């Protein structure tokens, strides 16, 4: 008489919920995930647009991709193990703050590649990785033509009209104004191309402007 365990195992195997993995399948899946992860790594490293580049985060993307791949292999190979894995992962909590919202996209990119590679969808993982990398590179290259700066200007009341004429020639967005004793402070976002790079000199040349500071804004 068969035991309950053997009956359940036979039923699961008949349903195709247990997949017999081979060493070749595991190696190819992890290799595909690693290759795609390296592409993501170099795209992140070469075309990073944030204020502070983190090499540790770039390495984390590679690790996350490969780890997600073998987790997917484990979950897809055995129903019982998949239930246990879901229970184990449910207690994990990530509390590290992500400074740049774009970094979240890179993490999701790595996780998606790991899932598709672990599921054996190698062509889809490679093609999707190449397509996303191409889109990101194009957005980065063409988006660098116009840069955003934050400008802080301190000026007297007599210079307000002339200052507005100078700023009207640039794409600016007013952040705020403050008034002190006999002096005003204006903060604005300015977007311009290289041909308008002398705008700070033109602002300082306005009579009545006491100081002007401009810092590049990278979100």
Residues 6+ away with beta carbon under 8 Å from 113: 33, 36, 37, 40, 65, 68, 69, 125, 128, 129
Stretch(es) of the chain classified as CATH 3.30.70.260: 147-216
Q: What is the pLDDT of residues 76-109, one digit of tens each?
A: 766 555 555 555 555 555 566 666 778 888 888 9
The verdict on pTM exceeding 0.85 is no
Q: Which residues of 12-34 are buried (b: 16+ CB within 10 A; e: fewer)?
A: eeeeeebeeeeeeebeebbebbb
Q: Which CATH topology does 147-216 take?
A: Alpha-Beta Plaits (3.30.70)
Q: What is the pLDDT of residues 123-161, one digit of tens each?
A: 999 999 999 999 988 888 776 656 677 888 888 877 778
Of 57, 93, 86, the residue nearest 72 (C-alpha): 86
Q: Are 155 and 183 in contact (CB under 8 A)?
A: yes
Q: Are 67 and 117 in contact (CB under 8 A)?
A: no
CA angle 58, 27, 61 (to 5 degrees): 10
Q: End-to-end distance of the chain based on CA atoms, in angstroms?
A: 68
């Amino acid at each position: 008489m068969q035991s309950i365990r053997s009956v359940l195992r036979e039923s699961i195997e008949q349903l195709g919920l247990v997949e017999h993995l081979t060493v070749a399948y595991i190696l190819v899946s992890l290799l595909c995930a690693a290759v795609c992860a390296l592409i993501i790594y170099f795209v992140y490293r070469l075309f990073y647009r944030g204020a502070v580049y983190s090499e540790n985060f770039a390495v984390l993307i590679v690790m996350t991709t490969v780890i997600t791949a073998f987790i997917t292999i484990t979950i897809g190979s055995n129903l019982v193990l998949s239930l246990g894995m879901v229970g184990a992962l449910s207690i994990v909590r990530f509390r590290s703050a992500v400074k740049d919202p774009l970094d979240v996209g890179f993490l999701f990119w790595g996780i998606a590649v790991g899932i598709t590679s672990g599921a054996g969808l190698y062509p889809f993982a490679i093609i999707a990785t190449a397509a996303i990398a191409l889109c990101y590179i194009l957005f980065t290259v063409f988006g660098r033509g116009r840069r955003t700066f934050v400008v802080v200007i301190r000026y007297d009341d007599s210079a307000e009209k002339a200052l507005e004429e100078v700023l009207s020639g640039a794409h600016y967005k007013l952040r705020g104004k403050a008034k002190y004793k006999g002096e005003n402070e204006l903060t604005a976002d300015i977007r311009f191309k290289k041909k308008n790079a002398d705008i700070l000199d033109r602002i300082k040349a306005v009579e009545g402007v006491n100081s002007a500071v401009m810092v590049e804004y990278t979100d």
